[in-house]
Amino acid sequence: MSIKINYLNKQGNITLGNVVLFTDEKFNIGSLKKHLSNSEFSYISDLLKNNDSKKDVFFFEVNSKKTVFLVFIRKNIKI
């Protein structure tokens, strides 16, 4: 008996409660657009323009069921 497995590389309309996205030091979120809807992306980009960029983590409540966390990662990490 043989088994056939199909892999799909597309994402469905999945409603996630919390999303954690990692950005660079300047909070460039252009590459993260594929993980957000157009309205969420424009909402977050507008809020980032007005926020203090000295923080390491931002969180945005997009709606009552979804929260987006933005965490920046330093490129030159020295331990």
Question: Residue 29 domain-assigned?
Answer: yes
Q: Tell me whether residue 43 is in a domain.
A: yes
pLDDT at position 8, please? 60
User: How many domains does the chain contain in total?
Assistant: 1
pLDDT at 16: 61
Question: Per the domain annotation, does 37 fall within a domain?
Answer: yes
Domain interval for residue 61: 18-72
Give the model's pLDDT for residue 69: 86
Residue 77 inside a domain? The answer is no
Residue 66 domain flag? yes
Contact 59, 18 (CB under 8 A): no
Cα–Cα distance between 77 and 30 in angstroms, integer? 23
pLDDT for 79 beyond 80: no
pLDDT in tens, 18-77: 888 888 877 788 888 888 888 888 888 888 887 766 777 888 888 888 888 888 877 776
- 5 pLDDT band, cuts 50/70/90, is low
Domain membership of residue 64 (yes or no) is yes
